[in-house]
Amino acid sequence: MASPARLWELVAGGLLLGKAKAAAEEPRWLWGQLYTVRVGQVARAQRCLAELQEHSHDAAAALHSQAVAAQLGEERHFIEPRGSEVSYDPRLLVFEFLCNIMLRKSQVHLVRAFASSAEAGRSVCQQMLMGEGKTTVIAPLLVLLLADGRRLVAACMPAALLDMSRAVMVERFSSPVLPRPVLTLEFHRQVPATKALLAKLEAARQGRAAVIAAPASVKSVLLRRIELLLELHHSTAQHLARSESEKGSWLRLPSWLSTASNEDDVEVARSTVQDQSKVDEACVCGEVLHLFHGGVMLLDEVDLLLDPLRSELNWPLGRRFSLDMA
C-alpha cells in the first residue's frame, strides 16, 4: 500500500510517476485506504454503542440511538458510479485516512464549491450550522487542496477564535506523512513592515503552509501602507515648498557664512533617511497585499468579519491637534 504522502504527490500535482505505473499502484493503496477508514468507522460505532448501553435508561437514550444509527449508516459521498466504473477524488480519501473521519455529504459539496470557485477566481459565501465541521474539516481540507506553492492560502477569523483555529490546524497538519507548517500573521501599527515579514509569507506560499490571521492584522497591512504613502506625500510637498522658497529669495549668504544652512542640511539628510525607510516599508506592505490578492483567503464567521459596525479598526492619521475646551 502506498503511503499517504506518496499518494498525495500522485494525485495533487506531483506527477512523479507515469500514468501507467500510477494506475498499476492504484488498487493496492485504494483498497488499503478504504479498509482503514471503515475500521475507524466501526470503532466509532462501538464507542457509541457502549455509551448507549450506559445510558439506556436515561432521557438521552434516544440521542445515543441516533448517534449509533448515524455511524452505521455513513456513506462515501465523493465516490460516484459512472456506468461500469466509479469516479472519485483520491485527495478526499487521503484526508479521511489522515484524520480518521468520513466526510459528510454537505462537507463534500461545500469543499467542491469552494475549490471550483477558487480555481475560477470567484468569491463565494456558504453557510453551515455550528458543529458541522467548518473549522475542523472544511478549512484544513481547503488548505490541502488549494495550497499548491503558487498562491498563498490564509485563514482569517475573529480574534476570539484565533487560538482554537490555530490549534485545530496544527493538529490536522501534524501527521508525519503529510506535514504542513502553520504560521500566524501578527501585525499592527507599532510593528514595522520589514523584509523579514515578506520573506516569511513568501516561504509560507512556497512551502504550502497555512497562514492564520486575525482581521485586525490583515486590515493593518492596508492601513499602514496608506499611512506611509500619505506621510511621503506630505514630506514631498514640504521639500518642494522649501526649494521654491529658496529659489525665490534674492538675498542669500554663502553656505560657509551661514550657520543655519548646516542645520538645514542635517535636517534634510535626516528627513531623506526617514523617507527612504518609509518607502521601503510601503513597498513591503504592497508586496504583502499582492500576495493576498493573488492567493486565497478563507473567512470564518464572515457575517461578523464584514460587518463595519462590529469589526472595524480605528486608525487615526495625521498630526494631533488640541480639541476646544479639552
Collect all residues with Cβ–Cβ distance below 8 Å to 211 and sequence separation of at least 6: 152, 153, 154, 155, 183, 184, 185, 201, 204
Q: Which among 293, 307, 296, 303 has a CA at the least distance from the CA of 126?
A: 303
The answer to whether 296 touches 153, Cβ cutoff 8 Å, is yes
> Which cell numbers in the block locate residue 59?
432521557
Q: DSSP of 123-192, one letter per residue? A: -------TTSSIIIIIHHHHHHHH--SSS-EEEE--GGGHHHHHHHHHHHT--TTS---EEEE---TTS-
> Which cell numbers in the block locate residue 314?
480605528
pTM score of the predicted model: 0.76
pLDDT of residue 183: 93
The answer to whether 80 touches 87, Cβ cutoff 8 Å, is yes
How many Å is the Cα radius of gyration of the chain?
A: 29
The answer to whether 165 touches 135, Cβ cutoff 8 Å, is yes
d(Cα 42, Cα 38) in Å, to the nearest integer? Answer: 6
pLDDT of residue 244: 66
pLDDT of residue 26: 60
Q: Which among 79, 104, 74 has a CA at the least distance from the CA of 89?
A: 79
Q: Is 166 exposed, middle or buried (0-12, 13-18, 19+ CB in 10 A)?
A: middle
Provide the sign of the torsion angle of the four alpha carbons 235, 237, 239, 242, taken in this order. negative
| CB atoms near residue 185 (< 10 Å) | 20
Q: Which among 186, 207, 210, 189 has a CA at the least distance from the CA of 197?
A: 186
> Which cell numbers in the block locate residue 209?
503552509
d(Cα 250, Cα 272) in Å, to the nearest integer? Answer: 27
d(Cα 24, Cα 164) in Å, to the nearest integer? Answer: 42
pLDDT of residue 248: 55
How does strand 79-82 pair with strand 85-88?
antiparallel
Cross-strand bridge partners of residue 88: 79
Per-residue pLDDT of the chain (326 residues; tens, 9 = 90+): 445 454 444 444 433 333 444 444 566 777 777 778 888 878 877 887 787 777 777 767 777 777 777 777 778 888 877 777 777 788 888 888 888 888 888 889 999 999 999 988 898 888 888 878 888 899 999 998 899 889 999 999 999 999 999 999 998 888 777 788 999 999 988 888 999 999 999 999 999 999 999 999 999 999 999 999 988 888 887 777 776 665 555 555 454 444 444 444 445 555 677 788 889 999 999 999 999 999 999 999 888 888 888 878 888 877 777 877 76
Helices (H), 3-159: 4-11, 19-54, 61-72, 90-99, 105-120, 139-146
Residue position matching grid coordinates 448517534: 67
The answer to whether 68 touches 45, Cβ cutoff 8 Å, is yes
d(Cα 310, Cα 172) in Å, to the nearest integer? Answer: 30
d(Cα 113, Cα 166) in Å, to the nearest integer? Answer: 24
